[in-house]
Amino acid sequence: MKPIGYFDIQNEDDFNEKVLNCNNPVLVGFYAPWCESCRVTMPKLEKVVEENDGKIRLAKVNIDDKALQDLAIKYNFKSVPVTAVIKDGKLRSQLVGKQELENVRQFVQSTLNE
């Protein structure tokens, strides 16, 4: 069972509702199931969201899903994994590639301190 702060995005309308219209900042993990770096990075995103206890949520976007490929194009993401922060409906910052836990912590903390 996933914690309340996590959700898998199903389509672009779902993204608009759960990410762009969210009152809290959202950490968005753009990934592909075949991507080894994604499999290493995603649990780190989950851990940092858990550590921040409701201050930030996590949305997972599988770019291999045809219903979600336009999101990667819209945000001009050309590779995975991409870890992005969307706050107040706008892309605030992003990390590209496999991330260490401490990098993700600092990335999220800088967003929460804005």
- Residue 57 sits at φ, ψ, to 5 deg, of -110, 165
- Residue 31 sits at φ, ψ, to 5 deg, of -145, 170
With 0.85 as the threshold, say if the pTM is over it: yes
Assess whether the previous peptide bond of 81 is cis (omega < 30° from 0). yes
Determine whether 35 is an active site residue: yes
Alpha helices in 1-114 (DSSP H): 12-15, 36-51, 69-74, 101-112
List 9, 19, 26, 38, catalytic entry: 38
Determine whether 22 is an active site residue: no
- Band of pLDDT at residue 1, cut at 50, 70 and 90: very low
**Domain coverage including residue 66:** 6-113
Question: Do the domain assignments include residue 19?
Answer: yes
CATH (domain of 78): 3.40.30.10
List 27, 35, 49, 85, catalytic entry: 35
- Band of pLDDT at residue 55, cut at 50, 70 and 90: very high
Question: Do the domain assignments include residue 20?
Answer: yes
Residue 59 identity (one-letter amino acid): A
